[in-house]
Amino acid sequence: MSGSVVFHPSAEEDVRQAYRWYEEQRKGLGEDFLLCIEAAINAIKESPLSFPAIHKNARRILTRRFPYSIFYVASGATITIVAVFHCHRAPILWRNRT
């Protein structure tokens, strides 16, 4: 399935903040982070229902290289990214975004 992907405004900010943090650690690391996020989103687009449902209709995928979870809702042909959280962040916080 190749649906459209929409980011919740807070999820966009999650990505921006993480990108900036990784770029401050080492130039180019933020770009690597974005590529990792893009790969995870491509996996979601390819098979949105193959990742575990964790709360109602929300699902989660773990990124491979960086310790981040992407929380999303797949509804019809639309995938809504609701949060991109570091794995040490309180996971319940994303629920307010659905």
Q: Domains of the chain, with CATH numbers?
A: 4-97 (3.30.2310.20)
d(CA 22, CA 34): 10
pTM of the model: 0.88
What are the tens digits of pLDDT across the range 34-81?
A: 999 999 999 999 999 999 999 889 999 999 999 999 999 999 899 999
**Distant-in-sequence, close-in-space partners of 25: CB < 8 Å, separation ≥ 6:** none
For residues 91 and 16, the answer to whether their CB atoms sit within 8 Å is: no
Higher pLDDT, 54 or 93: 54
d(CA 52, CA 48): 10
